[in-house]
Amino acid sequence: MFLPTRLLYIAAFQVILMSIATYFFVTSEYRTLSSQSLQAIDHFLIEQKKQELKNYTSLAVSAVEELYHVKEPNIKEAQIKVAKVLNNMLYNGDDGYFFVYDGEGNSIAHPKEPFRIGKNWWNLENKKGEKTIQILISNAKSGGGFYRYPWFKPSKNQMSEKMGYSVYLKKWNWMIGTGVYLDDVNKQLNKLQNEIDQHINKTKQIILMVAISSIFLIFLLGQLVNISQKKKTDIKINKLNQKIITLQEEEHRYISRELHDGIIQILVSIKYSIEATGIHLSKANIEKPKPLIHAETNLVVAIQEVRRISHHLHPKILDELGLSAALAELSAEFTERTGIAVKVTKPSVRKLLPDYINTTLYRVVQESLINIQKHADATQISIDLSINDKWLLLEIKDNGDGFDMLSYKKKNSPGIGLRNIAERIEYHSGQFEVLSSSKGTCVKVKIPKTSFVNHANKSTIEEV
Amino acid sequence: MTHFNVSNNKISVLLVDDHPMVQGGLIACLSFYDDIEIVGSTEDGKDALNKALELKPDVILMDISMPFMNGIDATEIITEQLKKTKVLIFSMHASLEYVTSAIQAGASGYILKDISSEEVYLAIKTVFQGKNYFSSAVAKMLIDNPPKNENEKLTTREQVILSHIAQGHSSKDIAGILNISCRTVEAHRRNIKAKLNIDSIAKLVLYAMDHGLIQH
């Protein structure tokens, strides 16, 4: 089966469509999955931070527990001590510290921003439009809570998102809080997001590569299939061609024989009947009537015409006297018709070849002579038939101005064409070659001796 | 039509033609001539051999294209065995190759089928007298292309004998196989050697092998 190019294009188009669909499907799945896992990671990290904050806070609260339970009148003193203790409790480098406000928003302790101490920050509003301190205090009063808000990050010396946790010391109306900056978490998440994007890019490249190589493979396989198919078809066509030529030759031979052995013989016998009639008449002293004379001469013409046609279809000489005699006759006719001298060299033995080789070689010479006459402008031709240890060689040389290879391929040339003959010779395991230059052309045919050895012997022995 | 000789010594003629209608027509025409007697007729070359040996006719009128064995090959065998019988080829083929092959095979004359019966009669008489007869078209061909003696081709009979020689058969063996005399085989042998310009048996065998007559 031949694969039409259109089919290949459709296949390639399908691969492209599939690749695009796969790409979108895979990346969207990937993105969904990754955003889910990012959320999970985010959640996990935040939870971890929250736990950390709770731990630090409970550590801080237990550190000041003893002072908190001091009774009047030492409370004021204890409060100062606590503020001092908390001021010194730092963790995570510069960014982990505790801050203390009273229930009205007055700053009591703030190790990193001491300018706040002693002032009221109740109405401090952040970028989100929320009152930071009020929310922290309210979270603390409701038993401890988390709140995200923008705040100054000491280590970076800039604003950053912070998650704060605050608890309430009810007896003192104090809020103690601490917080972590979330930019680390965000950085980590961004890094993951980047990695995911890289993965998606990689996937895209792999899909692209697979698609391109698939398309390449489709066309390659298509070509290979077509090439092997073409070979098979060529062989079939060649076989068919040979069959057609064989049939044609057989048909020609049959018609030729029918004409020669049938029609001509009948015509000849009629001729003798007319002659006998003439003799009868002359014996009876009657003059031959003119129509009878006319019939006799016309009959001779008819016989010659039929003979010519029969000979043209299939030269009987080929079967009866063999190839070399047939070639000699063919050349003599050619010389007579065209005035071009033909020299034939042939071996002393004859009837060496089976019919199909005989006929093929005869047609080679016939076609070559036609070509020479039409194209070569030659004055001398030599036809050499010889036998060496392996091959029967047939060479037709002329001294013309070279053979146009194109014209020899032309379809409108008469006869079965040299090209067909070449195929026919190769089909019978022979070799065919045309060498042409401005000095002349040489058509060479080689037939392996194995295809005719013993043929002459068999046929002649059987005949006797 | 003046040949109405009253003679007891009629020329006996064997007619070999594969078409009965031609035979009939020819017999009808030749029957007008009193000095000719058609002693028999046959339709193929092989049967012609038997009939010729049996009837020993003076002249055989021989067609070429026939089943089983063509007229030229039959002529060669007949003239080899019947020295007195003359063979006159009577054919449709007007080409030099046929004519020279026929002459090589030992035919005394060659006439084409399109000539008149009167000329056929004349030809029969001529070859009977030991001369050659060629109808005008054939004669013209022979004058234009006189047969050459050098590099002559082997006749079918010679080729058969060459294959036998190459297969190691002696002249006596060959004479037995082909049912001819030993002397005839020897004569063929000399002819073959002369034609191929070969002087030893070994070289003959080699030649036969080289030309695919027998297998290596």
**Per-residue pLDDT at B2:** 39
Backbone angles phi, psi at A117, to 5 degrees: -60, 135
C-alpha distance from A451 to closest chain B C-alpha (Å): 10
**Per-residue pLDDT at B164:** 84
CB contact under 8 Å between A350 and B151, yes or no, is no
pLDDT surpassing 50 at residue B3: no
CB contact under 8 Å between A351 and B21, yes or no, is no
**Per-residue pLDDT at A177:** 92
CA–CA distance, A424 with A460 (Å, rounded to integer): 27
CB contact under 8 Å between B24 and A269, yes or no, is yes
Which residues are within 8 A (CB) of A37 and not within 5 positions of it... i.e. 6 or more apart? none
pLDDT surpassing 60 at residue A462: no
CB contact under 8 Å between A261 and B19, yes or no, is yes
pLDDT surpassing 50 at residue A31: yes
Percent of chain A at pLDDT above 70?
92
Token digits of residue A290: 């003119």
Q: How many residues does chain A have?
A: 464
C-alpha distance from B126 to closest chain A C-alpha (Å): 21
Average pLDDT over residues A102-117: 88
Domains of chain B, first to last:
11-144 (3.40.50.2300), 156-210 (1.10.10.10)
CA–CA distance, A353 with A444 (Å, rounded to integer): 18
Q: Which residue of B has its CA nearest to A272?
A: B25
Q: Using 50, 70 and 90 to split pLDDT, how confident is the model at A464? A: very low
Q: How many residues does chain B have?
A: 216
CB contact under 8 Å between B72 and A392, yes or no, is no
Average pLDDT over residues A18-27: 87
Least confidently predicted of A92-106, A284-298, B7-21: B7-21
**Per-residue pLDDT at A99:** 92
Q: CB A335: neighbour CB atoms within 10 A?
A: 14
Token digits of residue A48: 């971890």
Which residues are within 8 A (CB) of B4 and not within 5 positions of it... i.e. 6 or more apart? B33, B34
**Per-residue pLDDT at A164:** 92
Q: Taking CB atoms and an 8 Å cutoff, what residues of chain B touch A304? A: 114
Token digits of residue B79: 């003239």
Token digits of residue A148: 């995200």
Condensed to tens digits (0 to 9), the pLDDT of residues B32-81 reads: 888 888 888 888 888 888 888 888 888 999 988 887 888 888 888 888 88
**Chain mean pLDDT for chain B:** 81
C-alpha distance from A329 to closest chain B C-alpha (Å): 6
CA–CA distance, A163 with A179 (Å, rounded to integer): 5
Burial of residue A247, with CB atoms counted within 10 A of its CB: 0-12 exposed, 13-18 middle, 19 or more buried = exposed
Q: Taking CB atoms and an 8 Å cutoff, what residues of chain B touch A383? A: none
Q: CB A386: neighbour CB atoms within 10 A?
A: 13
Q: Which of A316, A348, A463 sits opposite B154 (nearest CB)?
A: A348
Find the angle CA(B175)-CA(B178)-CA(B184) to the nearest 5 degrees.
50
CB contact under 8 Å between A261 and B65, yes or no, is yes
Average pLDDT over residues A86-111: 88
**Per-residue pLDDT at B4:** 42
Condensed to tens digits (0 to 9), the pLDDT of residues A139-173 reads: 999 988 899 999 888 888 888 889 999 999 888 89
**Per-residue pLDDT at A275:** 84
CB contact under 8 Å between A260 and B92, yes or no, is yes
Token digits of residue B112: 């084409």
Say whether B174 sits in a helix, a strand or coil.
Answer: helix
CB contact under 8 Å between B154 and A460, yes or no, is no
**Chain mean pLDDT for chain A:** 83
CA–CA distance, A245 with A397 (Å, rounded to integer): 25
Helix and strand numbers (H, E) in chain B are: 10, 6
Condensed to tens digits (0 to 9), the pLDDT of residues A377-414 reads: 788 888 888 887 778 888 888 887 776 554 555 444 54
Say whether B20 sits in a helix, a strand or coil.
Answer: helix
C-alpha distance from B128 to closest chain A C-alpha (Å): 22
CB contact under 8 Å between A320 and B70, yes or no, is yes
Average pLDDT over residues B153-167: 81
C-alpha distance from A422 to closest chain B C-alpha (Å): 23
Residue of B107, B177, B127 whose CA lies nearest to A464: B177
Domains of chain A, first to last:
95-180 (3.30.450.20), 315-463 (3.30.565.10)
The pTM of this model reads: 0.61
Average pLDDT over residues A50-71: 87
Condensed to tens digits (0 to 9), the pLDDT of residues A187-229 reads: 888 888 888 888 888 888 888 898 899 889 888 888 888 888 8
Q: Which of A273, A282, A349 sits opposite B213 (nearest CB)?
A: A349
- Identify the residue among B15, B17, B18, B22 best suited for mutation to test binding to A, counting A beta carbons within 10 A and taking the highest: B22
pLDDT surpassing 80 at residue B122: yes
**Per-residue pLDDT at B8:** 55
List the strands of the sheet with A145-153, edge to edge: A107-109, A98-102, A174-181, A158-169, A145-153
